[in-house]
Amino acid sequence: MSSKPGEEAIVSSYNETEDDGGGRSRDQEGNEDESMFNVKSFLWHGGSVYDAWFSCASNQVAQVLLTLPYSFSQLGMLSGIVFQLFYGIVGSWTAYLISVLYIEYRSRKEKENVNFKNHVIQWFEVLDGLLGPYWKAIGLAFNCTFLLFGTVIQLIACASNIYYINDRLDKRTWTYIFGACCATTVFIPSFHNYRIWSFLGLGMTTYTAWYMTIAALIHGQVEDVQHTAPTKLVLYFTGATNILYTFGGHAVTVEIMHAMWKPQKFKYIYLIATIYVFTLTLPSASAVYWAFGDQLLNHSNAFSLLPKNAWRDTAVILMLIHQFITFGFACTPLYFVWEKVIGMHDTKSICLRALARLPVVVPIWFLAIIFPFFGPINSAVGALLVSFTVYIIPALAHMLVYRKASARRNAAEKPPYFLPSWTAMYVINMFIVVWVLIVGFGFGGWASMTNFIRQVNTFGLFAKCYQCKPATPAALSPKSLHH
C-alpha cells in the first residue's frame, strides 16, 4: 500500500530534520547497519514500530493490574470480563483517532514548512493547530491533570507494594523514599530513550500477571468463599470506572508517535497492544477473584492476599521497577510542557533540562502523601479525567475536524478499510461520547467520588499506612502489653 501525500511529507521531513532526544538525527538512519553493534544505540535510541508497541503495551498495564481483581469483586465475574473487552476496544478506537489527528496536524504543518527539530509535538498542540486555542486549553488542562495524578498513583503503588516485602517502614515513609527514586526520571530526555525500559517493563507485567493467575489457582478458593457482586451501585460503577482507567493509557499517544521514525504506521499498534494486554488482565483478575471472592472488597492490592513466598516477592520487585518506568512515561509529557513554559525545551544539555524539570516532581510527591488510597484513586481519576482526556475529547475533536466536506475530501487519513464511511465513524464517535459522558463520567464520577470520600473519612488525609494490617497482640512487645 502506498503512502498518502501527507504521510510522505511527514516521513520525509521526519527523516531529514528530527532529533531523537539523544543527539542522533533521522538522516543517520541509513547508516543503521554501521551502528548495529553500538550498545548505546541499541539500548537508547528507539523509534520503530516495535518500540511503539512495547511502549503502548508496557504503559497500559502497570499497578492497575493489581487492582483489577478488586474491580471484579465490585462488578462480578461476568461484568468484569465484559467491561474489559468493551473498554479495551473503545480505548483502541480513540487511540486510533488521536493518531489520525496527529497525522492531519503534522501534514498541514509540513505544507507550511514548519520545522519540528528539537521540538516534541504534544496532544494540546494538535488540538490547537486543528481546532484553535480553546481546545488547546481544554486538552492541556485535562491531559496535564490526568498525567499528574497518573504519576501520583505510581508513587502510591510503589509504597503499597514494597510494604508487602518490608513492613518495618510504613507506607508513607516508603512514599518519601520512592518519590526521591522516581525523581531521577528527569534525566531521561524523551520517549526515544525508553526502548530497553519498555521491553523490560512489559516482561515484568507479563511475569506478574501470570504469577497472580497461577498462584491463585494453586492456592485455591478460601474457606467459605463468597462471590456476591454486584451488590451496590456505588461499588459497581466504581469498578467499571477503574476498568475504563485501565484501557485509557493513551494520554501519551502523541508523544509515542512523535518518537517514531514513521509515525503514520502507528494506526493499529494500540489495538494489537490491547489484545496482548487482554492475555494478562483477564486471566489474572478472574483467577484472583475466583480464589478470594468478597475478601478483595477490603484489599485493593491483590498482593495483600496472595501467599508470601519468593515468587510473590519477585513479582513485587518487578512491579516496583515497572512502576518507576511508568512514572517516567506519565511524567515525561509534563516535563515537556513545563520546559516549554519556562523556555527550556530547546536546551540540549541533559543536566540543565533535568534541573529545570525537578519542580514538576514536588507536587506529585506531595499529593501521593495526601491521598494514599490505592484502589479508589484509580477510579476517581478514571471517571473525572480519563473519561474526557482519552475518550470524549478525541471523539469530539475528530468529528469537528472533519465536519466539512472539504476537510473530509482532503484528509491526510481516510476512514479505515473495515469502516469505509464517514457517517459510520460519526455514529461510533457519538456513541462513545454519550456512553462515556453518562456511564463513565456521570455514574462513574458519582460512585468513585462517593467511595473516595468514604476512604478519606475512614482513614483521613495523610494516612500513615492505608489498608495496613493492624498490629496483633502476638506482635506486641511484653512492655507494650503492660501499658
Say how far apart CA 288 and CA 370 lie, in whole Å.
29
Q: What is the pLDDT of residues 193-247, one digit of tens each?
A: 667 777 888 899 999 999 999 999 999 999 889 999 888 898 899 889 889 888 8
Please determine, for residue 45, whether its predicted confidence score (pLDDT) is greater than 70: no
Q: Residue 406 contacts by C-beta under 8 Å, 6 or more apart in sequence?
A: none
Query: Residues 304-320: pLDDT tens digits?
Result: 899 889 999 999 899 88
C-alpha 270/C-alpha 277 separation (Å) is: 10
C-alpha–C-alpha distance, residues 386 and 437, integer Å: 11
Looking at per-residue pLDDT, the higher value among 447 and 192 belongs to 447
pLDDT per position as a tens digit, 92-105:
999 999 999 999 99
How far is it, in rounded angstroms, from Cα 137 to Cα 144? 11
Q: Is the dihedral of CA 425, 416, 61, 80 positive or negative?
A: positive
**Whole-model pTM over 0.85:** no
pLDDT of 282-291, one tens digit each? 999 999 999 9
Calpha distance 224→238 (Å, rounded): 25
What is the Cα–Cα distance from 323 to 2, expressed in whole angstroms?
40
Cβ(366)–Cβ(176) under 8 Å? no
